[in-house]
Amino acid sequence: MARNTSGKKVRYAVVGLGHFAQSAILPAFAHAPNSELVALVSGDAAKRAKLTKAYQVPFALGYHDYDSFLSTGAVDAVYIALPNHLHADYTIRAAKHGVHVLCEKPLAVTVAECRQMIAACKKADVKLMTAYRLHFEPANLTSAKVVHDERIGEPKLFSSTFAMDLREGNVRGKPLPGAGPLYDIGTYCINAARGMFRAEPEEVFAMPGDGTDQTACVLRFPKGRLATFAVTFEGYHGSRYEVVGTKGSVEANPAYQHRGALKNVVKIGEREKKQTFAARDQVAAELIEFSTCVLDDREPEPSGREGLLDVRVIEALETSAKKHRPVRLTRARKRRRPTLRQVRRAGPPPKKARPLVKVASPGKH
């Protein structure tokens, strides 16, 4: 059974203290009034000691103490920020202790793992949310509304690029399940395409670059709509997407970053409108929503199924890359899609970041 969360705050343990956890997740609790950071979980004693002091957290533990700690009732939820291949295991174990789960994307490495996670959380009556922070970001949701309202006419094409010059030794580049640019940053492009078209792809094709850590992909959607994207771990950092319709287009550039202002440009005929969206704490908005779902006992969105549907596409793309042919997908449906109603108010990111402990940015730039 789920923990009693009749109080005004949801108590969290952050599991995994890599760069994103330290630079974005831990500071976000200061801007999420219904969320409280009470525990840090890491296999590194130096990280635990220094970050516990920096954030005044009462509990810090190694991975070997994960289950015993969750059984104490000291936390209501975990935020899993571990490498992708560990998401399923740590989610299922949390659910068995009646602890709610906010899990970083991609939700898992395989659809089978996603289903196990969803089933475990349902059986334990705990909430599971996939950490798509852009589902609460005004810039992304405004672009989606432009498309959904058909201000650019009938949407026809989606294109996106996401590049990172990966630092040597980073876990994203190691030969582990769920590593590589398709899982790590391709998830953003897939999720954006699905959200903009409000549909699920029917067929996919992937072409990896020979001898390079990059992949180009094509997704065919209903009504003849096409999405293309390319991701690389060998390029200068940047992200963008564009949706082209019969009357105009909308472009987001930068599109997926978690720090700094985001921008979009809407072109309708000869008219052009540029918008800049001020930097805000995207992770805090995500925490606020998940904690609200826990406190009000309602199902989170983005759900575990939202995460599964992206992993489903990634698996098919991986198969396509190996077999050098398109791969058809079985029919899938998703009723709820991101809208401006999901915007959550959160303050700006901290002006001065706290010192990071034994981590470096995944990208060189």
* CATH number of the domain encompassing residue 40: 3.40.50.720
Q: Tokens 């959200």 identify what position? A: 195
In a domain, 242, yes or no: yes
Res 352: pLDDT:
65
In a domain, 336, yes or no: no
Residue 175 lies in a domain: yes
Quick one: 131 and 143 in the same domain?
no
**pLDDT the model gives residue 3:** 56
What was the pLDDT predicted at 335? 83
One domain, residues 15 and 113: yes
Residue 209 within any structural domain of the chain: yes
**Do residues 343 and 288 lie in contact, with contact meaning Cβ atoms separated by under 8 Å?**
no
Q: Is residue 245 part of a domain?
A: yes
Task: Determine the structural domain holding residue 189 and report its residue range.
Answer: 138-279
**Tens-digit pLDDT string for the chain (365 aa):** 555 555 689 999 999 999 999 999 999 999 999 999 999 999 999 999 999 999 999 999 999 999 999 999 999 999 999 999 999 999 999 999 999 999 999 999 999 999 999 999 999 999 999 999 999 999 999 999 999 999 999 999 999 999 999 888 888 888 888 989 999 999 999 999 999 999 999 999 999 998 779 999 999 999 999 999 999 999 999 999 999 999 999 999 999 999 899 999 999 999 999 999 999 999 999 999 999 999 999 999 999 999 999 999 999 999 999 999 999 999 998 888 988 989 988 878 776 668 899 998 888 77
**What total number of domains does the chain contain?**
2
CB atoms within 10 A of CB 33: 14
Count other Cβ atoms within 10 Å, centred on residue 48.
20
* Closest to 146 (Cα-Cα) out of 103, 198, 183: 198
Q: Are residues 163 and 268 in the same domain?
A: yes
291 in the same domain as 272: no
